[in-house]
Structure 1
Amino acid sequence: MIVKLHKQARTTPAIREEIRHATGTLAELTARFNVSISTILKWKSRDAVEDRSHTAHRLQTTLTPAQERIAVELRKILRNSWWRWFTTQAVGRSQSTCMTPKALTNINQPSRLRQ
Structure 2
Amino acid sequence: MHQIHPQARTTPSVRAEITGSTEGTGVLARRFGISDETVRKWRKRGVEGCMDRSSKPRGLAWKATGEERAIVCHLRYATEFGLDDLTFVLRHFLSHLNRDSVWRLIMIANLTPADSL
CA distance in 2, matches of 1:11, 1:35: 8
Q: C-alpha distance in 2, partners of 1:43/1:74?
A: 39
2:43 corresponds in structure 1 to 44
Find the aligned partners of 1:73 and 1:6 in 2 and give their Cα distance.
29
Other-structure match for 2:65: 64
Q: Secondary structure at the match of 1:77?
A: coil
TM-superposition CA deviations, 1:25-69 (whole Å, max 9, x none): 211110111111221112111223111222333321121223223
Report SS of the residue matched to 2:110: helix
Instruction: Give 4+ residue runs of structure 1 displaced > 4 Å after superposition.
Output: none
Structure 1 residue 73, shift from structure 2 partner: 7.8
TM-score (norm 2): 0.53
* Counterpart-to-counterpart distance in 2, 1:72 and 1:40: 45
Contiguous gaps of at least 5 residues in structure 2: 74-104
TM-score by length of 1: 0.54
Which structure has the larger Rg?
Answer: 1
CA-atom RMSD, angstroms?
Answer: 2.7
Identity across matched positions, percent: 30
Higher RCO (CA 8 Å, separation ≥ 6 residues): 2
Count of equivalent residues? 79
